[in-house]
Amino acid sequence: MAHWGPPPWSAPPYPQAHPHVYVPGPQYANWWTHPEAYGGRPPPTPVRSKKYPNLNPILAADTTLLRFDIKKKPRTEILASTYYSNRSLPARATPVTHMRLISKSFPWTIDIVFPDNITCEVVWDALYSGLQEPIVDSEWGFIIRDNKMREKVENAVKKRLTADGGKGDKHYKRIDFLGDETIFRGLEKDDEHEKAMVLPLSQGVTETWVVKLSS
């Protein structure tokens, strides 16, 4: 039977090598020494996903009740009791060191590389961090070809800056590409979409998951 218990590791984080690769920092090491990791209690026995039984049910789109706005840091957006009782649990029932996040809501891939085992917190933070990257010239050149897409991005930037009181990052970000479609609804599998997203002649990642989002 698969086990969701805490996976120990000791290897240091990999160096950040590519803007599409998310490498967790040292704050994720030795999490088992922190008493708040499980809110002072053992993690509850989860209800397993029928579609994705090896994926942590708080991440699986068919079982998770977790909803949070990925425009903001997961640590502040997710209810504290939910965050601390699940953040250190492994994303998969068996150890995985490389995951790829894709979505029908954005055109980028977000690769997560970790030395031993990827946790739920690492997945949440990778999604947030990956979409905080600035939109580059080549991406903007693609966006301006579609007037509706450009308008959506510009409106999202205005809303973000208004919410920040005008003090936030004024760079156009990938999160702005999503418009209002920024509510996390879990991870799912879609082989056809995954196949379409893989660059021809490039190697895919076995643990590729589609991020389900809504407004």
Closest CA to 120 of 92, 144, 141, 158: 92
Residue at 2 is within a domain: no
Residue 21 confidence (pLDDT): 52
User: Distance of CA 2 to CAs 46, 100, 205, Å?
Assistant: 12, 22, 22
Residue at 6 is within a domain: no
Residues 192 and 148 both lie in one domain = no
Residue 24 confidence (pLDDT): 52
Alpha helix ranges (H) inside 144-190? 147-163
Residues 148 and 74 both lie in one domain = no
Enumerate residues 6+ apart whose C-beta is below 8 A from 211. 101, 102, 103, 105, 127, 184, 187
Residue 8 confidence (pLDDT): 31
Closest CA to 86 of 33, 36, 126: 36
- For residue 101, list its beta bridge partners: 110, 209
- Residue 173 structure tokens: 């970000």
Residue 116 confidence (pLDDT): 83
Residues 47 and 145 both lie in one domain = no
Residue at 10 is within a domain: no
Residue 97 confidence (pLDDT): 96
Residue 173 confidence (pLDDT): 96
pTM for this one? 0.78
- Residue 49 structure tokens: 């996903």
User: Distance of CA 77 to CAs 42, 71, 110, Å?
Assistant: 23, 9, 21
How much of the chain is helix, strand and coil, in % rounded to 5?
30, 15, 55
Residues 124 and 166 both lie in one domain = no
Q: Quickly tell me which residue has 């504290």 as its tokens.
A: 80
pLDDT tens by residue, the chain, 215 residues: 333 333 332 233 333 444 445 455 444 443 333 334 434 444 444 578 999 999 999 999 999 999 999 999 999 999 999 999 999 999 999 999 999 999 999 999 999 998 889 999 999 999 999 999 999 999 999 999 999 999 999 999 999 999 888 777 789 999 999 999 999 999 999 999 999 998 888 888 999 999 999 99
- Residue 112 structure tokens: 């997560």
203: number of CA atoms within 13 Å, CB side?
Answer: 5
Residues 56 and 155 both lie in one domain = no
What range does the domain containing 206 cover? 21-133+179-214
Residue at 5 is within a domain: no
Residues 33 and 76 both lie in one domain = yes
Count the domains in the chain: 2
Check residue 16 and report its DSSP letter. P
Residues 151 and 58 both lie in one domain = no
Residues 63 and 99 both lie in one domain = yes
Residues 100 and 129 both lie in one domain = yes
Residues 120 and 52 both lie in one domain = yes
